[in-house]
């Protein structure tokens, strides 16, 4: 079996779901199962590698050209808690015909819903069996980095400088870079390999915040509740209705930001609801945070101090930190073109470890993996596009900068 495919299949079968309700790092012990395997593989390839006390895996490869700057490649080990990653059973489809993909007797990935499938005709793709997510986000990135490093080591004509490799826990719950040791990593710049379709090259991402809202109601017997009962769920619905309807994820694209309710748990007596707030534009981002807080203030005037709104920033648009280092974006573009890939420079509608790392002093754009429909049963990845990502990583290392 192709080593790239072999690695991906091995990694996705290791359950590594992160848990936002945990206060440990990593948030789940299962992530260490993959970390230990990656550590051994890096050592077997000859890298100086270790796992730190927080589950981060670091690897160092001595270069052949000491005049070149040190380049890092980073992916995350965890999978999103949106859907189970236990018992992943991947399906390999060679020479895909571009038509609907039957996952099982209940679920089908339909071209009508996912038109990009037509563009994958003739490629080898890997899908789920419809009962779990796949985990290509970001185990495809890990497989790409490991394969590229392996091939570079065995290429007698390679001209790379010092290379750094990093695998992080808990990216899917927004903590992937929180305890990343930039000083120990010791790279001049890096790339996360955590993007989607072929050619994606991203150095802009959302500014991100989370709003947790706590609503206190008053529960009395409904038969004698006139002018007394306060239904906390009703206030929650009212709050949600006061947010702009056209600024929800399902109605936005490109540079349009949104409010997204990610959870609600309530009763008459009390309700908790959580939103994520996103916008590429810093001014609009601040306005969105201000709006949800003002809605809370208005409802408190109306119902008497029953609403508590807590807003906290999660990460920021890395464009501000990448723009002074556009040579690393140009290096990625050149490397893609050399691999026969057309660069697609666009703002990602999400975040990567690279956004926080860029603010920690490690400029870090994001590269494609060939994955689609992340975080659910319809997730899939193109092996052909993964191979192009391997070529791109190798080209970045060999071309380098001085």
- Active site members: 78, 171
Q: Which of 313, 343, 359 is the last residue of a domain?
A: 313
Contact 264, 273 (CB under 8 A): yes
Q: Measure the CA dihedral 288/291/292/296, to 10°.
A: 170
Name every residue whose Cβ is closer than 8 Å to that of residue 306 and which is 6 or more positions away in sequence. Answer: 215, 216, 217, 230, 232, 235, 299, 300
Query: pLDDT tens across 69-115, in order?
Result: 999 999 999 999 999 999 999 999 999 999 999 999 999 999 999 99
Name every residue whose Cβ is closer than 8 Å to that of residue 178 and which is 6 or more positions away in sequence. Answer: 25, 170, 356
Claim to verify: residue 175 and residue 40 sit in the same structural domain: yes
Claim to verify: residue 307 and residue 333 sit in the same structural domain: no
Q: How far apart are CA 316 and CA 378, in angstroms?
A: 29
- 28 token code pair: 């789940």
How far, in whole angstroms, is CA 54 from its chain's centroid? Answer: 19
Among candidates 250, 199, 200, 205, which has minimal Cα distance to 349?
Answer: 205
Q: How far apart are CA 337 and CA 194, in angstroms?
A: 19
Claim to verify: residue 160 and residue 277 sit in the same structural domain: no
Claim to verify: residue 253 and residue 305 sit in the same structural domain: yes
* Structural domain total, the chain: 2
Among candidates 341, 335, 347, which has minimal Cα distance to 382?
Answer: 341
Q: How far apart are CA 25 and CA 168, in angstroms?
A: 10
Q: How far apart are CA 17 and CA 19, in angstroms?
A: 7
- 56 token code pair: 């981060």
Q: How far apart are CA 370 and CA 389, in angstroms?
A: 8
- Beta carbons within 10 angstroms of residue 15's beta carbon: 18
Q: Which of 257, 292, 313 is the last residue of a domain?
A: 313
Claim to verify: residue 268 and residue 327 sit in the same structural domain: no
CATH code for the domain in which residue 156 is found: 3.40.630.10
DSSP 14-43: S--B--TT--SSSSSTHHHHHHHHHHHHHH
- 155 token code pair: 């290429």
Residue that has been written with the tokens 């008459």 in this structure: 268
Claim to verify: residue 35 and residue 115 sit in the same structural domain: yes
Q: How far apart are CA 242 and CA 236, in angstroms?
A: 10
Claim to verify: residue 247 and residue 390 sit in the same structural domain: no
Whats the size of the chain, residue-wise? Answer: 402
CATH code for the domain in which residue 246 is found: 3.30.70.360
Claim to verify: residue 199 and residue 215 sit in the same structural domain: no
- Beta carbons within 10 angstroms of residue 327's beta carbon: 12
Claim to verify: residue 45 and residue 90 sit in the same structural domain: yes
Among candidates 103, 101, 144, which has minimal Cα distance to 8?
Answer: 144
Q: Which residues pair with 164 in a beta bridge?
A: 60, 72
Q: Which of 287, 313, 339 is the last residue of a domain?
A: 313
Among candidates 210, 260, 215, which has minimal Cα distance to 233?
Answer: 215
Can you give the pTM of this predicted structure? 0.89
Residues of the chain with pLDDT under 70: 1
Please tell me the predicted confidence (pLDDT) of residue 174. 87
Claim to verify: residue 253 and residue 177 sit in the same structural domain: no
Quote the domain boundaries for residue 230. 210-313
Claim to verify: residue 143 and residue 253 sit in the same structural domain: no
């Amino acid at each position: 079996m192709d080593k790239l495919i072999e690695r991906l299949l091995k990694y996705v079968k290791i359950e590594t779901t992160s848990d936002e309700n945990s206060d440990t790092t990593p948030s789940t012990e299962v992530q260490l199962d993959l970390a230990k395997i990656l550590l051994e593989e890096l050592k077997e390839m000859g890298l100086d590698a270790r796992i730190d006390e927080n589950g981060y895996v670091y690897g160092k490869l001595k270069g052949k050209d000491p005049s070149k700057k040190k380049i890092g490649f980073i992916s995350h080990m965890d999978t999103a808690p949106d859907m189970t990653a236990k018992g992943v059973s991947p399906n390999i489809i060679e020479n895909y015909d571009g038509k609907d993909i039957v996952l099982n007797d209940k679920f089908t990935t339909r071209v009508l819903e996912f038109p990009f499938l037509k563009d994958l005709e003739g490629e080898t793709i890997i899908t789920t069996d419809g009962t779990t997510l796949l985990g290509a986000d970001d185990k495809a990135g890990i497989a790409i980095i490991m394969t590229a490093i392996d091939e570079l080591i065995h290429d007698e004509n390679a001209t790379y400088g010092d290379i750094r490799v990093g695998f992080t826990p808990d990216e899917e719950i927004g903590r992937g870079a929180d305890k990343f040791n930039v000083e120990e990593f010791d790279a001049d710049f890096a790339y996360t390999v955590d993007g989607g379709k072929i050619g994606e090259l991203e150095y802009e991402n959302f500014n991100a915040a989370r709003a947790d809202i706590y609503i206190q109601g008053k529960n009395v017997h409904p038969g004698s509740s006139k002018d007394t009962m306060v239904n906390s769920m009703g206030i929650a619905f009212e709050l949600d209705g006061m947010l702009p309807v056209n600024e929800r994820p399902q109605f936005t694209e490109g540079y349009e930001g949104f409010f997204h309710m990610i959870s609600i748990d309530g009763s008459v007596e009390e309700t908790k609801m959580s939103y994520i707030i996103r916008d590429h534009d810093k001014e609009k981002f601040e306005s969105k945070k201000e709006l949800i807080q003002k809605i809370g203030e208005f409802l408190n005037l109306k119902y008497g101090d029953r609403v508590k709104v807590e807003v906290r920033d999660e990460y920021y648009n890395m464009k501000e930190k990448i723009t002074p280092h556009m040579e690393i974006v140009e290096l990625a573009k050149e490397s893609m073109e050399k691999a026969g890939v057309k660069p697609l420079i666009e703002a990602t509608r999400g975040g990567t470890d690279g956004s926080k790392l860029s603010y920690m002093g490690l400029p870090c754009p994001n590269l494609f993996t060939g994955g689609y429909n992340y975080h659910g049963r319809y997730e899939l990845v193109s092996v052909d596009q993964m191979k192009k990502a391997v070529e791109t990583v190798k080209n970045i290392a060999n071309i380098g900068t001085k």
